[in-house]
Structure 1
Amino acid sequence: MKKTRLITGIGVLVAAGAFLISADHIDAPSSMGTTADIADFYAFEPTEGSDLTTFVVDLQSNVLPDLAYGTFDEDILTEINIDLDGDLVEDKVIQAIPRNGRMYYFYGDPGQTGLSSSILENNPLGDVEISSSSAVIETTSDGVRIFAGPRQDPFFFDFFQFNAVIGGMAPEGFKTPDEAEDTFDGANTLSIVVEMPNAMLGTPTGTNALGLTVYKAWVTTNRKQ
């Protein structure tokens, strides 16, 4: 088994934006601004009442549209951790690691929990060509859909008006949705997407603010020792 060392904490969704680059959130100092930097994490049903769950991890938030796209780092293992019994310890993990222009996915019980991870080489989920100018999506025999490649940053935030409001320079307050400007429009991230049948994931036990049953999930990035 290949061992990897955790270098960044959980991606945090409630935070400020990165100045003039793109949306980003609070990361551990050792990962901030590196190829292990987590920008966003999303988990949702693709359609209401679906028996599928889609997981999206966005990395490297400073991939600007007028520059060459960033590349996935082959020394970085991205891991989606899923807690099924409410103890906030991962019971299942979805892993993604790039090799020679393809993203390889693994899924199963974690080899170990906590600050270190081991690649589940005996539990492959599938692999897909890393997209460039056009999106490449693979569907496995288990009904899992996978994607990896650059996508436009989905984070909408009027960064300058926000700073003006909190700095006391905008007595009128925040702009209306029609007037607000998306500071990060056109900026890009590198996205890892996995859509899986819930039957493969197990029974969710978490509850969100709306009272809906959800999977308790978080993302870590790990660097090879």
Structure 2
Amino acid sequence: MRNSIKAILASAALGLAAVGAFVAASDHDDGEADTKARALNLTDLYVFREIDQNPRAKADDLIFVMNTNPRSLARQQYYFSTNARYEFRLTRVLGKDDPATGQTDAFFRLEFGAPDKSGQQSITLTASRAGVTRTVKATADGKPILTTPLTAKPIINQVPLDRGAISVFAGLREDPFFFDVEQFFRVRAGLAGLGPSVGFRSPGHDFTAGYNVNSIVVRAPMEWLTAGSIAKTFDVWTTISIPDPAKPGEWRQVERLARPAVNEGLLLTNDYLNTLNAVGPDFEAAVLAGDKAAGEAAAPIVGEISTVLKLLGNSPERISALLGAFLPDVMRIDTTGPSGYANDLNKRGSPVRGRMLKDDVIDITLQVLSNGAVKGDNVSYDGPNAGGTKHKPLLGEFPYLADPN
């Protein structure tokens, strides 16, 4: 059993960085910096066909969820940064087996105004696809696009675009992620010879229990996303950018996130995490393609991860195979089949059906990488987890995430 866990965690280490591993959700605190407050910290990305969450929904709509501001305390109002751009970016892909390029074919950008007396923030939405970019500040009925205050019912903003409107929600929600991260760190320390040898406890402790996150949820019609192409598959990632003090008028990316996995522990140097947060998946594509400059920039990061992987007993051959499956770091969704992180793999061994809100991405990762030898961390969305904790029921309609604590 110890050898099985050892192999899993060595492989799962690849979920902790974008070059030599996948920069992934849930990064509830990766790459902390003085200039990056929690409102600028991504936690998770979810992408799924709405009909798979709600059988009454339209068949051709996709849901995009970006969660930020980790460990937001219950009954406390938190706000989106007024000095940032929050973006969903995507690439149109012809087939699920095609290599990821990390190129941006379309994006949704949200910028937030200062909160008013009721705790609401105005939203400026910029949507771009097929070379056409449009910025909108009002809903279809002419009202401002607004966030939802802590104690209010979800405000669903219907925003007009060409080829159909999109729906936008922004506000506090219960954090849907679940993981016994403390025990993972103990297991990792034991495997590295830095502590006693332990396994996962049962039941596991859910480290997000009782916390909220600031969520952005967008519902978009496939017709808008495809932009007249035949694409049914998309690569998706999220970013947060702030004004660059060294380059007036320009923006500097400080966060990036796509695949779900553990990414908080095994890339040890904080500067490396910040470096990876500042680049896009196109950088990883360049590294894999043999670009000399990109390879040289990535070398120290790859070296650190390789050292950790060696300590955990991973072979060079296995590292190479997993890198081929999970780089560049994008969340791929093939919309021709049901959404779900475990529902399908492409020929590279990469998940290609997005991610649903209740997907147990930790257990899925452990099971896949161990060929089923380890079942997971013994934490689930519905619980009961250690202490009797569980998450609130999801809403039956958009924006689907549970009400905040």
Aligned 8 A contact 1:153 1:184 in 2: yes
Q: Which residue of 2 aligns with 1:124?
A: 136
Aligned 8 A contact 2:38 2:68 in 1: no
**What letter corresponds to residue 219 of structure 1 in structure 2?**
T
The Cα shift of 1:76 comes to 0.6
Aligned 8 A contact 1:130 1:148 in 2: yes
| Cα distance in structure 1, aligned partners of 2:147 and 2:25 | 29
186, 191, 205: which one aligns with 1:164: 186
The list of structure 1 runs, each at least 4 consecutive aligned residues, that deviate by more than 6 angstroms after superposition, is: none
Aligned 8 A contact 2:47 2:64 in 1: yes
- Taking structure 2 as the reference length, what is the TM-score of the superposition? 0.42
Aligned 8 A contact 1:84 1:204 in 2: no
Question: Which residues of structure 2 form unaligned runs of 5+?
Answer: 1-16, 53-57, 94-99, 115-120, 191-195, 244-248, 250-405
| Cα distance in structure 2, aligned partners of 1:110 and 1:37 | 29
Identity of aligned residues (%): 21
**Map of 1:131-170 to 2, 5 A cutoff?**
131-132=148-149, 133-134=151-152, 135-140=154-159, 142-168=164-190, 169=196
Q: 1:219 to 1:14 in 2, by over 3 A?
A: closer
Q: Which residue of 1 aligns with 2:126?
A: 106
**What letter corresponds to residue 41 of structure 1 in structure 2?**
L
90, 96, 115: which one aligns with 2:110: 96
What secondary structure, in the 3-state scheme, does the structure 1 residue paired with 2:179 have? coil
The Cα shift of 1:95 comes to 0.7
The structure where helix makes up a greater share of residues is 2
The alignment covers a number of residue pairs equal to 191
- Taking structure 1 as the reference length, what is the TM-score of the superposition? 0.71
Q: 1:216 to 1:105 in 2, by over 3 A?
A: same
Q: CA RMSD in A?
A: 3.2
| Cα distance in structure 1, aligned partners of 2:59 and 2:29 | 29
Q: Which residue of 1 aligns with 2:242?
A: 223
Deviates more, 1:80-89 or 1:154-163: 80-89
Q: Which residue of 1 aligns with 2:65?
A: 56
Q: Which residue of 1 aligns with 2:89?
A: 81
| Cα distance in structure 2, aligned partners of 1:123 and 1:204 | 26
| Cα distance in structure 2, aligned partners of 1:74 and 1:91 | 26
Aligned 8 A contact 2:29 2:70 in 1: no
28, 45, 49: which one aligns with 1:24: 28
Q: 1:12 to 1:136 in 2, by over 3 A?
A: farther
Q: 1:149 to 1:163 in 2, by over 3 A?
A: same
Question: Which residues of structure 1 form unaligned runs of 5+?
Answer: 1-8, 16-22, 112-119, 206-212
**What letter corresponds to residue 186 of structure 2 in structure 1?**
A
Larger Rg: 2
Aligned 8 A contact 1:158 1:181 in 2: yes
Q: Which residue of 2 aligns with 1:192?
A: 216
| Cα distance in structure 1, aligned partners of 2:180 and 2:101 | 37
